Amino acid sequence: MRATNPISKVRDHSHTMTQPETPAHYTDLDAALETAWNILAEGAGNRRVPTHTPTLATIGTDGAPRMRTVVLRGFETASRQVRFHTDRRSGKINELRADPRAGLHVYDLQRKVQLQIDGRVHLHMDDPLANQAWQQTQPMSRIVYQVTQAPGTVIDSPLDVTHDIMPDTGFNDGGSENFLVATLQVETLEWLFLDARGHRRARFTRKGNAWPGTWLVP
Ligand SMILES: Cc1cc2nc3c(=O)[nH]c(=O)nc-3n(C[C@H](O)[C@H](O)[C@H](O)COP(=O)(O)O)c2cc1C
């Protein structure tokens, strides 16, 4: 016999005045997926929201998980691809060359929604996408790509970071040779909404352009 949890029964009064309005995604899978895409689009487009800096996970060359913060530079709504920029000499790129599978973790505090994304990363170097992104980077952001040593190189002192200075100008306008645009194709997306009335969890899996989804026990 199926027993109903008395607590969740008591709490499931979504119509009471004391509760905030029930979002559509509370009982609607399509709305849950739409919320997820909106979170990614907003995170890419607004540098003031915390979802602008999600956590990217890769598989270390030793098989252990590796995580780091990246700036969400773009979200292609048609293809459901997330974009970030990095140094092609970085550890994460070595890892992605060996295994392109990656995870992306986003928590939207305002919406109380967590996204756990699995996908595959495509590396763009010296192609139209990378060239255009490089043209659009600010001089300040280029400095990190102009360091002569690879990111993560052991140094004796923090002052040992060196830049190739051009003799006549005293500055360096290079860096594009180290720049890379990575696109993560979303393959599966798990959505979790925490709510006092009862949590909600769903998983969506890409089938071509369709995203069939299912509810999961939170
Ligand atoms: C707020 C914030 C934003 C960051 N954005 C990026 C980014 O967009 N690209 C990047 O390569 N590293 C970024 N980093 C640095 C990474 O978290 C990480 O330290 C670095 O890329 C080296 O990681 P790896 O050795 O795993 O490659 C950011 C760090 C912080 C704290």
Distance (angstroms) between ligand 1 centre and the Cα of 34 equals 28
Distance (angstroms) between ligand 1 centre and the Cα of 86 equals 8
pLDDT value for 19: 63
CA distances from 71 to 54, 83, 204 (A): 7, 9, 24
Residue 54 lies in a domain: yes
pTM: predicted TM-score of the whole model, two decimal places: 0.90
Residue 5 lies in a domain: no
Per residue in 58-104, pLDDT (tens digit) is: 999 999 999 999 999 999 999 999 999 999 999 999 999 999 999 99
114 vs 108: CA distance, rounded Å: 6
Residue 194 lies in a domain: yes
For ligand 1, is residue 92 a contact (CB within 6 Å)? yes
Amino acid found at 153: T
Residue 11 lies in a domain: no
164 vs 171: CA distance, rounded Å: 8
Domain carrying residue 42 = 24-151+163-216
pLDDT value for 171: 65
The CA dihedral of 98, 80, 207, 117, to the nearest 10 degrees, is: 60
Question: Does 10 have pLDDT greater than 70?
Answer: no
Residue 18 lies in a domain: no
Length of the chain: 218
Residue 58 lies in a domain: yes
Question: Does 20 have pLDDT greater than 90?
Answer: no
Residue 12 lies in a domain: no
Residue 39's CATH number: 2.30.110.10
Mean pLDDT, rounded, for 24-33: 93
Per residue in 168-208, pLDDT (tens digit) is: 665 667 899 999 999 999 999 999 999 999 999 999 999 99
For ligand 1, is residue 86 a contact (CB within 6 Å)? yes
pLDDT value for 179: 97
For ligand 1, is residue 59 a contact (CB within 6 Å)? no
Domain count, the chain: 1
Atom of ligand 1 nearest to the CA of 87: 11
